[in-house]
Structures are given as C-alpha cells and as structure tokens.
Amino acid sequence: MILGLLLIAPQSFYDLIKAFESGVALFYSASSGSIRRALDTLLARGAIEVASVEPGGRGRKVYRVTDDGRAEFRAWMAAEPAGPDLETAALARLYFLGLLEPAERAPVLHRITGRIEADLAALTALDARLDTADLPEEHRDVAAHQRAALDYGIAAHRFMLDWFRAHAARHTPPRP
C-alpha cells in the first residue's frame, strides 16, 4: 500500500503515517513501526528511493517510487486477491484503482469479483453441509452462534459481490 501512496505523491515517513490514518486506515491498520519496516524493505529492493533530504536537524527524507516499484505495484494490482482477508485485499485494490489506466481497471475488478464468488461458493457449500449435520444436544447452543457467524459471512460476501459488480458496471467502458 505504501507504493500506492507514494505513486499519488512523494512523501516522508511522517506523511505516510498521516496518509494511512486519513484514508487507508478505513480498511487496513498499520503501526508506525510496520510502515518503517515496509519503507526499509522497499528501499532495499529498489522499489522506492529517497527523492530528497530536507535540510535541518532532522533531515526529513522524502520517498518516491522507482520504475521497479511502479512495476511491482502494477503486478500487485493485477494479481489475484490472496490471503484470508478478502475484504482488505479487495478494498486496497479499489482504493488505488484510479492509479491504473482506465483499460486496466476492469480486469482488476473482475479478479476481485471472481474471488468473492469463489469464497461465497465455499461458504454456501459449508452451509449446505451443516444443514445435514446431526449435533449432540450439548453442542447445539454453541453451534447456533457459530452458524450465525457463517450466516453473517454469507450475507457479507453477497453484499460485497453485489457492490463490486455494480461498481464495475458503472466504471467499465462498454465494449466496441
């Protein structure tokens, strides 16, 4: 996410913390220590560079994305959303979608909706299997609340799928 923020504008470490707090924190939290480690890692890989060091006692460094960093960002945006937290993966790509060329955006949204569909299918299959499960009496109260969590997950995925499909329909240019 740091690459996306730095593609919007070169920023200092302090600026990045503020950018996380004012926007990215809506769907992803990061401590100042994790932001610092990510900056160090990106610098070591050559994905970012120090654009300038401001004069004065603190010598505040301003970072910018390199060509390698741009390629890394584009590869991340184009990749299948991975990991257990689909909502964060989807919202992170959505947040930075405007940094891609208009023709590159629809495939990203398509990959997101594909992942949502797959996860929803898995949850729905689990729901169907649970319908046929015979639970001992002593586990039914616990299972009722676990089932409620599953119901919530299914409803959340349905909402997310509907929302991303509608967003894609509004922002995907018609095919010639």
**Count: domains in the chain:** 2
**What's the chain's average pLDDT?**
91
Which of 78, 97, 114 terminates a domain? The answer is 78
- The yes-or-no verdict on residue 93 having pLDDT over 80 is yes
Which of 78, 113, 137 terminates a domain? The answer is 78
Instruction: Work out the number of other CB atoms within 10 angstroms of the CB of residue 52.
Output: 12
Quick one: 7 and 68 in the same domain? yes
Host domain of residue 1: 1-78
Quick one: 86 and 144 in the same domain? yes
pLDDT of residue 142: 86
How large is the average pLDDT for residues 17-34? Answer: 88
Q: Is 59 exposed, middle or buried (0-12, 13-18, 19+ CB in 10 A)?
A: exposed
